[in-house]
Structure 1
């Protein structure tokens, strides 16, 4: 007998919301407030290099190496602007501090048009909702200012969990919070490995959100791939029938 579906777990970034402007534009806007005139294209390229470097050396915000999300991000910002010839340590610290807090503001995030409606539809089916996200401790505030926090019974971030997707351990923590077996839980996210493969490896009903038809994966059945979040509730309804 099939276990009844009871929970839906959600990825957040690029699933429910996205950064409104490019990182290069947002970083340059803050730099301009400090009297600097930099190229968004150059800053974007420097950021990508800094992000890759720090992600490689200090995975998951360096939690196991004594760092946290704030110190990790501030190091990424300092590295980014250092590559762009901003060398004043006090100025680098000020910009990094300001940018870390700026990303808690609603104007820096864009909620996808189908997000709130789909969350409401899932709740109306009697399903409970939780978050499993490779994000830092700012996520709760970001969801709050974007008007989405009230939909969720719990949030698990990789900073809080001490482990990041695609590790099964973060999903195990989520299943404990659900108090339900994997067969009673669905997961929705936009990343083929971190969201789809990782959740399904544990027996969770994983769905891959593919808004721009980027994932040409023969191992993802059509019924597991969504081009819009609005396609999710009917799929979940079938699992419940």
Structure 2
């Protein structure tokens, strides 16, 4: 059995996922303002706008003079512009509404086994924290979804100033947890940002690979989670 004292968790697509694609949410918001924009067009526009903003202002513009809220408002407005919406006053209103709505449990759902697995980890005496490339809304999202109570700390890339796979975000998690790397494990769904990055600082790690996702040749089967419910068995086996 692994002698673990701390588990750190990714959130998006590990514990929580969007209830519907971004394009559908944006299309519904447009419809509420009398605009008809196809979800597929908005999904493609969002990918383009998000990618451009991320390249220009990495990590929600930390240290570059833009708040994370303004960062997101710009992404949302640019998404609608790319999809053909031109009315500036409506753009600003839709962006504000969507920024607020994506902080709500209405837009997020737990992955299968998430709540039960977190509860069982707590019952086993494992301490837990979050390590996520997210902005400062994550605390509220976790609280709204009744997950915040499981974690001693929530470490976002916006707060710490570094994004996974930068080793410094994991080092900060270890400092906050007061443990050595070999006493901690990270759980996430991304090979480079979660699995490999945690291992590079000496932590254990597990890769969530849900049905339909391809495997990764460099990840031993004992480190792969087909569902979150498999976690404790793998820890006890390790």
The worse-fitting range, judged by mean Cα deviation, of 60-69 and 47-56 is 60-69
Distance of 2:116 and 2:220 partners within structure 1: 25
* Equivalent pair of 2:2/2:237 in contact (CA under 8 Å): no
- In structure 1, list runs of 5 or more residues that go unmatched: none
Distance of 1:145 and 1:223 partners within structure 2: 33
Aligned to 2:211: 212
Alignment partner of 1:233 is 2:237? no
* SS of match in other structure, 1:164: coil
Distance of 2:212 and 2:192 partners within structure 1: 16
Aligned to 2:27: 28
* Equivalent pair of 1:30/1:95 in contact (CA under 8 Å): yes
Report how far residue 90 of structure 1 moved. Answer: 1.9
Report how far residue 164 of structure 1 moved. Answer: 0.5
Aligned to 1:201: 200
The size of the alignment, in residue pairs, is 238
Aligned to 2:147: 148
Q: Which deviations, in whole Å up to 9, do the C-alpha atoms of 1:41-92 show, x marking residues without a partner?
A: 1111111111111111111111131223211111100110111222222221
Residues 16-165 of structure 1: pairs in structure 2 closer than 5 A: 16-165=15-164
Q: Which deviations, in whole Å up to 9, do the C-alpha atoms of 1:174-193 show, x marking residues without a partner?
A: 01100111000010000000
Report the aligned-residue RMSD: 1.4
* Equivalent pair of 1:114/1:230 in contact (CA under 8 Å): yes
Report how far residue 5 of structure 1 moved. Answer: 1.1
Distance of 2:2 and 2:99 partners within structure 1: 43
Q: Per the alignment, do residues 113 and 214 of structure 1 end up closer, same or farther by CA in structure 2, a change over 3 Å counting?
A: closer
* Equivalent pair of 1:129/1:151 in contact (CA under 8 Å): yes
Report how far residue 3 of structure 1 moved. Answer: 8.4
- In structure 2, list runs of 5 or more residues that go unmatched: none
Distance of 2:124 and 2:236 partners within structure 1: 7
* Equivalent pair of 1:5/1:127 in contact (CA under 8 Å): yes
* SS of match in other structure, 2:62: helix
Distance of 2:215 and 2:10 partners within structure 1: 20
Distance of 2:174 and 2:141 partners within structure 1: 23
* Equivalent pair of 1:136/1:159 in contact (CA under 8 Å): yes
Distance of 2:172 and 2:110 partners within structure 1: 26
Runs of 4+ in structure 1 deviating by more than 6 angstroms, as ranges, are none
Distance of 1:37 and 1:90 partners within structure 2: 16
Distance of 2:214 and 2:10 partners within structure 1: 17
Aligned to 1:182: 181
